[in-house]
Amino acid sequence: MTASKRFRVFATCDIGQEALDLLRRRGYEVEVYPHPEPPPKSLIIEKVRSGIDGLITTLRDPIDREVLEAGRGTLKVVAQCAVGFDNIDRAAANELKIPFTNTPDVLNEATAEFALFILGCVSRKLWPSEKLVRENRWGAWHPYLPFLGDEVTGKTVSVIGTGRIGKAFIKKCVGLDMNILCYDPIVQDHEFVAKVQREMDLRYELGFTDERRTIRYVSFEEALSQGDYVSLHVPLLRPGESETPTYHLINEDALRKMKPTAYLINTSRGPVVDERALYWALKNGVIAGAALDVFEIEPLPPDSPLRDPELEDRLRLFHHFASGGRITRLSPDPNRGMAGRTVQALIDVLEGNYGGDPARMPFVVNKEAFQ
């Protein structure tokens, strides 16, 4: 099908030619910012003010009131190629009746498996081991020198946030015969937990594991104090945005409640963790280690205390890469890829799918503005 109107779209980065070509084949005029770094805000404003119909963005773009006001009466949709939308001024979008969309679900598995991989990476000390080899410091074999890692199988993992990604992470942990403690400040899915428990029971009955494992919801304090691993899967909610804000959910007080042998894993949002408190905790042996894919400021500033070489053996740092699988990022199929879902969300709004009602469109975030 081809759009009857020639819509104009500006993309702040190349989200993949296959997906963007879907728009071009429908007659859309698509302009893509050609550089890998984000465009200056002034250029985004200029493009919006020129009368574009759709704006494709990522988390790195500041889509604030000034940007949205520049599109008053002309900008019809902001299509975000990400699940998060911390960079978009929701109040301004609602006031101006501009729907904005995101890409939920398609990155659940990629993010969950990445969380599990970096958990194993920091726990089993994979990087220090590889570094020994690369630096030609691999000496004679010894039972425990120069260091040992911590096994994951059979340990207890505390999953903070049991939404889509948290649940995908839980399912992967079952295969490692882990006991699972769940905490969610907003919604508790007891039906899902019961199903996972049945799977754990079946694994025990079939002899796949020598001990019966359990999963249950607990308080935040118990999740922190009993977990060998604490893995974060919550959205970023700042004070005033929710009755249960998650900004700096992991602060000095929370870190003090964790075991000194525990590891913190964050693939959710950077500001969920107070980085200065985490630095203090790692520096003083309050917890054993951490693996982070997201940060309070991205890219991680050169002067961040997390870059301290003394933490290298117990802190793994990644470049917001959890969803960085080829299919997850680039597939033009809206059921498999972020690029495809971004494009489909934009088409839904511009071509008036779902009766032209943004409140009925599956990928529109700010439905409340249209109800």
Task: Give Cβ neighbours of residue 46 (< 8 Å, ≥ 6 apart).
Answer: none
Choice among 298, 312, 319, 326 that is catalytic: 298
Distance, CA of 75 to CA of 68 (rounded, Å): 8
**Is there a catalytic annotation at residue 329?**
no
Cβ burial 326-359 (10 Å sphere, 16+ → b, else e): eebbbbbebeebbbbbbbbbbbbbbeeeeeeebe
- Can you give the length of the chain in residues? 371
Distance, CA of 171 to CA of 197 (rounded, Å): 11
Cβ burial 99-119 (10 Å sphere, 16+ → b, else e): bbbbbbbbbbbbbbebbbebb
Task: Give Cβ neighbours of residue 5 (< 8 Å, ≥ 6 apart).
Answer: 350
Choice among 233, 248, 269, 314 that is catalytic: 269
Distance, CA of 33 to CA of 26 (rounded, Å): 20
Q: How would you classify residue 328: left for phi > 0, otherwise alpha for psi between -120 and 50, otherwise beta?
A: alpha
Contact yes or no for 349/357 (Cβ under 8 A): no
Choice among 26, 248, 320, 341 that is catalytic: 320
**Is there a catalytic annotation at residue 269?**
yes
Q: How many helices (H) and strands (E) does the chain have?
A: 13, 12
Indicate the DSSP class of residue 183.
E
DSSP letters for 87-156:
TB-HHHHHHTT--EE---STTHHHHHHHHHHHHHHHHTTHHHHHHHHHTT---S--SS-S------TT-E
**Is there a catalytic annotation at residue 25?**
no
Residue positions annotated with a catalytic role: 269, 298, 320
